[in-house]
Amino acid sequence: MAIPKVMGTEIEYGITVQNDRDFDPISSCVLLVNAYREDAPAKILWDYDQENPLADARGFQVEGEKYTPNQQENIARNKTLANGARYYVDHAHPEYSCPEVTNARDLVIFEKAGERIVEISRREANRLLPPGTQMLIYKNNSDRKGNSYGCHENYLMDRRTSFKQIVEHLMPFFVSRQVYTGAGKVGSENRGHPCQYQLSQRADFFETEVALDTMVKRPIINTRDEPHADREKYRRLHVIVGDANMAESSIYLRNGATALVLAMIEDGAIDRDFSLRDPVKAIKEVSHDASCRREVELQNGRRLSAVQLQGEYLELAQRYVTNRETDPGAREVLAYWERVLDALERDPMELADQLDWVAKKALIEGFISRKGVDWDSSQVQMLDLQYHDLRPDKGLYYLLERQGKIQRIVTDEEIERAVHHPPEDTRAYFRGSCLRRYGTEVFGVNWDSISFGIGDDPIKRVLMNEPLKGSKQHVDELFQSSPTAAELVKNLKS
């Protein structure tokens, strides 16, 4: 039986400062992250000792050095938030890693909460900038200078499932799911075949099928083996092939359908061979076809469009869910997946109120028609970027939202609550609640541990190897009986 698909996302945001000739992205990121303040600010370290980014899921360790910043740099670059998330500087980008959640709907809520947190800190950072300059943040995947930055998904999986099987069944799924996960993009990059418009911001940047790298020769399937949980029981599938989505429907389906497919892989429920003859070529072909009708070639000689290929995965998922006791959320994802594929088969433009790439295409085509410009216009490229602008009064996605032209999955009230409070059904609840209750005594944090500095005693590290333990149900009584961190640590040992 497949294990629950605890999941999360890591979003790297684009950053620039208008009218700053000496713009330094790293110092700007540090300013941005530190501009965000919560009720009980504390200097908490991110526990790099618990990380091993050089472990490969294929069973070996890659040569290289693990970077560990000194204590001052660590504190300056990292914030662990009371909602259980991590907000930090990753290379030259601000990054928000949402807390662990158990379903696609909560994933939408907490990823959207990240947008609000970044926008709050942007406004605060702007107060500290020289007059005439302004920091801008974009939830997109390319700076138009050949640099791509990621939206990474993470899913808890059973370590007993062979990585070879994961690759075999996921590769065609990832190549074809762009039809609903794409954020839309004007033109091509990275020596990609010229096109006016494509589905995905990331597709042009994938150059190999399977590898550990995330920045050079990017693979469709990443092999990082860093479970952030009990290593004997779990693996964390680190997915780097997705786009940074604005539309709630795209986020919901991106994570919901993927979680279902991963459960099917664990349970051996995929009994068809969808292997592609050339996945790297196919991912670009699918992205460059806004009609969604171009066929890709399978190893067995069949030719299917991306929508047809997704339809076959959907058919297997429907059979899988019918034969099992599953939570209602899985059935809701299935129903939504089916409706979206049906519309894509008829006419993708029917989904202009739901999917990012379609909404953006409709906006741009309307502008081109009104202004009499073409796809190569700098104004069109600016519209592409402005769709992802996090400023509520400037971002084109938010304009569509205000006008009621984009469908919602969650409510503003749910998102606002998630800015300040963790999910209640994973260990993120314990992490976030510890920060809120004992913030000044928290010394260090990682996804699977939290350490306390209590008086002159040695640092006390509490392990959280089980992602579903530490939920509100598990620990609320513990918190009620532990008014101080010292009592918490004592009660945990008793």
Per-residue b/e over 60-98, b at no fewer than 16 CB within 10 Å? eeeeeeeeeeeeeebbbbbbbbbbbbbbbbbebbbbbbb
Report whether 328 contacts 342 (CB < 8 A).
no
CA gap 193, 186 in Å, rounded: 13
The answer to whether 240 and 222 have CB atoms below 8 angstroms apart is: yes
Report how far apart, in Å, the C-alpha atoms of 252 and of each of 66, 222, 269 are. 34, 22, 22
Task: Report the distance separating Cα 303 and Cα 311, nearest Å.
Answer: 14
- The phi and psi torsions of 202 (rounded to 5 degrees) equal -100, -20
Q: How many beta carbons lie within 10 A of that of residue 318, not counting itself?
A: 16
Pick the catalytic residue: 90, 158, 213, 278?
Answer: 90
Per DSSP, 177 falls in state T
- Find the DSSP H helices in 411-484: 412-420, 428-438, 472-480
The closest of 176, 173, 168, 160 to 267, measured between CA atoms, is 160
Token digits for 362?
A: 């409709």
* CA atoms of 47 and 442, how far apart (whole Å): 11
Nearest of 19, 32, 357 to residue 177 by alpha carbon: 357
Q: Are 177 and 254 in contact (CB under 8 A)?
A: yes
Q: Is 158 exposed, middle or buried (0-12, 13-18, 19+ CB in 10 A)?
A: middle
What whole-number distance in Å separates Cα of residue 462 and Cα of residue 464? Answer: 7
User: Catalytic site residue 143?
Assistant: no
How far is the C-alpha of 196 from the C-alpha of 151, rounded, in Å?
Answer: 23
How many Å from the N-terminal Cα to the C-terminal Cα in the chain? 33
CA–chain centroid gap for 422, Å, is 17
Angle (CA) 185-187-189 rounded to 5° is: 95
What is the DSSP-derived secondary structure letter of residue 170?
A: H
> What would you report as the CA-atom Rg of the chain, rounded to the nearest whole angstrom?
22
Catalytic site residues? Answer: 90
